[in-house]
Amino acid sequence: MYDIVRLVDPINKSVLDYRQSSLVGTPDVCYHYWENNRICDNCISIRSYYENKSFVKMEKSRDNVLLVTAIPIDNADSPAVLELLKDATDTMLVGNGDYNEGEIFSRFIKELNDAAVRDPLTSLYNRRFVNERLPFDIINALLKHKPLSVCFIDLDNFKSINDLYGHETGDLTIKAAGEVISRNISHEDVWVARYGGDEFLLCLSDTDEDQARAIVEYMQKEIEKMPVNQAAEGVSLSISFGIETMKNVPVTAEELIRRADEKMYKAKKEKSSDI
């Protein structure tokens, strides 16, 4: 029924082997199968592990379309998910026409997967992506003995913009700020998500606090130069941010975010007291 059956560690992204009644990690990386050398944005295996239920998605390798099912393994000594991969290249039908050729079907699959992990307003990653991806980045940084910086960013005086000029202007402001942040990051291991409302979370792998501060301060200057819109001429926009850096000492994703969030609110409070 399936072309590939494998066990994976959804947090470390490794393929597992079953030996002598126990699960053993192998050097194989689960996402290398897709031949694009990058972690799947819409990783249903990590979602299956966290929510303890099965998930299904479509994914495309270089030449094939596969139906992927992820099933959590109960009572395992370490995180483990069963992945069932079925080649559906010649049997998948979506509407009319040959969608297995060219770019049309590839875009269709990408749009389906993006819908699960992308914010519809800004097209940045969403909070679900943060919860599923950040634990891996933490483990990866510890294994490589590299720093990892998490930055929590919040728009200042956003409520005033919403109240004075309406939610449409507020949405456009959030979208424009997200564009400034995203275009100033380019490395694959660096990503930004809309965490909620007017809050953004920036994850910077292999980046210490001073480097992270320089990056975010540049974004801050760009955002401060950004007009809200013509109707709100004269209204200034700025951000407050907090940075928490982990290096060699394990910290949970929740704790990293909490510390960065607290530093952001402290910076915002100091800024408001100076006005």
Residues 6+ apart with CB under 8 A from 193: 119, 124, 125, 126, 127, 129, 130, 200, 201, 203
CA 30 to each of CA 78, 120, 145: distance values in angstroms, whole numbers, following the listed order: 16, 28, 22
* CA 138-141-147 angle, 5° bins: 105
The reply to whether 261 belongs to the active site is no
Tell me which of 41, 198, 206, 261 is the catalytic residue: 198
Strand-strand pairing, 14-19 and 22-29: antiparallel
Sheet with strand 239-246: strands edge to edge: 190-196, 199-205, 148-155, 239-246
How large is the greatest C-alpha to C-alpha distance in the chain, in angstroms? 70
Active site residues: 198
